[in-house]
Amino acid sequence: MIDLLGFSLCLFGFNGFALAKFNHFKDVFKKRPTESQSKSLLFIAWISILLSLVLCVATQSGYGALIFCGFMSLSVLIIMVFYNFLVGYVKWFSVLNSVLVVLSGLFLALN
């Protein structure tokens, strides 16, 4: 479950980076992002990515940084597939990603 939280946070972060870009935001929401929207998305993305890194290193020690690099690769691949081939599903994907972050976080917090 800790791996799932680390990965979903990383995916959430890269999703934020993608949405913060003008083209991708327009493809998904059919409108331009405002300056503050872009900045907020970038801020959330960075926090999420850093949380994922901290979680990986704290729980997996030696191999944590490597797992984090792997999570980044997988996240970029998934984001690329959604934003280039499945744009219509990005909203659903983002919701699912957020649910995963919350559920895995709650599961760990309660256990």
Closest CB 22 distance from another protein, rounded Å: 10
The Cα–Cα gap between 46 and 20 comes to 11
- Dihedral over Cα of 42, 43, 44, 50: its sign: positive
Closest distance to another protein from the beta carbon of 43 (Å)? 16
- Look up residue 41 and give its two tokens: 């998305």
Q: Which residues bind another protein (CB under 8 A)?
A: 3, 14, 17-18, 21, 23-24, 60-63, 66-67, 69-74, 76-77, 79-80, 83-84
Cβ contact 8:100 at 8 Å: yes
Nearer to another protein, 70 or 105 (CB): 70
**Min dist. Cβ of residue 60 to another protein (A):** 8
